[in-house]
Amino acid sequence: MSRLPASFIPARRPGHAPVTRGAADYLSAHDKLAALLPTAARLMAAQRDCIALLPTLFANCMVLQLSEEHLLVAVPNAAVATRLKQLLPKLHAGLSAKGWQFAAIKLKIQVTASPPPMTPRPTAQLSRGAVASFAALEANLESSPRNGALKDALRNLLQRRAHGT
């Protein structure tokens, strides 16, 4: 199967916009699934409010259940659970101020099946002058047990630079 060029744009008839349906449209079209919409909307609103209150900590957490008794939150690991436990009073007070009614917040550790994709970090490129300075330092550095690790590190850096990695 041949791949289309990246600049390929499929032809459309004038005046015909593509028809897409969102998840809400799909759920509302089915009798049994339509009953899930209010619950899903409520959970999404609670998720948004939690993120607004604790943005960095709650970025990897998810509201699972909300009832009068408790708010159940999924956390990715024990470290996040420990940190979130310390901030539960702040989260509970903030959510109460926004009108959410529940007695307690419970945490459930749920390891995700696949972690979010890692974005490669850009590698810094050394200038020719910097490489020459490191080479001069390695050549002129006194050979002693105290300088051994530094000389090894400089040699490794210069070898990686020579091989282009």
- The domain of 67 spans 36-109
Clarify whether residues 49 and 98 are in a common domain: yes
Q: Which residues have CB under 8 Å from 90's CB, separation 6+?
A: 53, 54
Encode pLDDT of 41-67 as tens digits. Answer: 899 999 999 999 999 888 889 999 998
Give yes or no for a contact between 95 and 58, defined as CB atoms under 8 angstroms apart. Answer: no
Can you give the pLDDT at residue 4? 59
Q: Say if 20 falls within a structural domain.
A: no
pTM of the model: 0.53
Segments in the chain below pLDDT 50: none
Clarify whether residues 55 and 105 are in a common domain: yes
Can you give the pLDDT at residue 20? 64
